[in-house]
Structure 1
Amino acid sequence: MTEVKIQRREAIKRVLRGIGRTIAIIGLLLLVYPLAGIGGALIPANGDWREPETGVTLYVHDNGIHTGLVLPRANAIADWSDLVRPEHLADPRYASDWLLFGWGDRTFYLETPTWADLRLSTAVTALFGSDASLVHVDHIAAPQIADDLRPLTVTREQYVQIAAAIRAQFALDADGNSQPAGAYGPNDVFYEAHGRYTAFRTCNEWTGAILRDAGIRIGVWTPFNTGVMRWFDAPVDTG
């Protein structure tokens, strides 16, 4: 066998070994990531925190993919009317006194309203991260406690911090106005946002981080919706 053929064979072997290592690493990540997500959601941050008997009530929402926080459009502490306006809606008649806030990757958000809409290319893109993020605001009816909508009472100081953290995610234009960027339907709006979406800072970890930073007891890392919701009481079935 000539030296050229030997070198060619060795080069092919190196390429195949590299491909094999890459596949092994991806497989390991696919195994480790969900286990780490489950583990992070089970370990409490702010473990000594207890929900106050009186305070301000907000709600934690889960649509099966994305979690978010439901706050009144305006109260004595925070008023969203400067950022979230009826005229931003396709039909301003859907403007409501309660707003559901979420945050996430632009492509994932716009193209994946349900799991049935998820494409492999979208998932891979989100996995590797993106600086293109959006705040999603749904105008909803008066909250009715349900398995996917759970109440949370916080102190006034915690509510101030939560509202400020959400407000800081809006990317404003040169005049200080929020920037609508699409919608699913007549009662919701996407807004241009700050922040980099990654596999480690998902839409659900965004919800968890806002609550965690405000001192609320929740998992130390919550990349999945179930990891957020497990910390808040589900309604009791009295039937």
Structure 2
Amino acid sequence: MRFIKRILKYLGVILLIPATYFTVALLCSYIPVTPKTSNVEKNKSVYLATNGIHLEIIIPKTDMDASLLDGLKHTKKTQFLSFGWGDKTYYTKAATSLAFTNMNRFQAALLNTPSLMHVTRHTNIRDHWVEIEITAVQFKKLQTYINESFKTDTHHHKTVIPEISYGSTDNFYEANGSYNCLNTCNTWVNTAFKQSELKACLWTPFDFGLLRMHKK
């Protein structure tokens, strides 16, 4: 009987960890971090989108800084580029139709795993994109944050990974930073908004917090 009680106690502790994580994450997703308001004209637009799990930031190519555009694959028809950041193993396996195992999930959640940048080319605005009007200063800070997320070689060139993609309109690049349960694809976007002085969540590993705040 004492052995069973001990087992139940350990199980309770194990279950308490993810329960606490999701409770804190949910609460923080609804706590806004609002920058100081200003009367500066909001003359730029960026977009926020999700595939149901992962958020991505979309920027018009014609407004993009040369430093961010440098080294990225695009064509004359490309009007927008979307940027996402995430776990290297997940991206690689998803792009090559390989199974993302429970061990992979454990490693991504609890260990600091390598990351990749995912860049997709678009020829037009999509209906599900959320438009966000921002100032020129905010726009500059956002692009700087995204650009600094790319890992570069000794010549400061972005490193594309040619063997993986979801199709003919996207590419993956080596990235800076490590993925874990506290620093996910969606916290990367949330941090981008914080550092760009845009409305953001206190902290969130989910996609719905930022979308809710910026939907008009």
Q: State the TM-score bracket (shorter-chain normalisation).
A: 0.7 to 0.9
Shift of 1:211: 0.3
Partner residue, 2:202: 220
Summarize deviations over 1:140-186 as a string: whole Å, max 9, x none: 12213x3x310001110000000000000111112221111221111
Distance 1:195 1:82, change over 3 A: same
Structure 2 unaligned segments of length 5 or more: list them: none
SS of the counterpart of 1:65? coil
TM-score (norm 1): 0.77
* Residue from 101, 116, 132 that aligns with 1:152: 132
Partner residue, 2:31: 43
> Is it true that 1:73 corresponds to 2:73 in the alignment?
no
Query: 2:17 is aligned with what amino acid?
Result: L
SS of the counterpart of 1:40? helix
The 1-side partners of 2:65 and 2:114 are apart by: 27
Percent identity, aligned pairs only, is 25
TM-score (norm 2): 0.85
Contact 1:139 1:187 in 2 (8 A): yes
> Is it true that 1:28 corresponds to 2:28 in the alignment?
no
Contact 1:95 1:187 in 2 (8 A): no
Structure 1 unaligned segments of length 5 or more: list them: 1-12, 87-92, 235-239
* Number of matched pairs: 208
Shift of 1:209: 0.7
Contact 2:85 2:117 in 1 (8 A): yes
The 1-side partners of 2:82 and 2:38 are apart by: 24
Distance 1:101 1:23, change over 3 A: same
* Aligned alpha-carbon RMSD (Å): 2.6
Contact 2:77 2:123 in 1 (8 A): no
Shift of 1:112: 3.8
Task: Give matches, 1:124-203, under 5 Å.
Answer: 124-144=106-126, 146=127, 148-181=128-161, 182-203=164-185
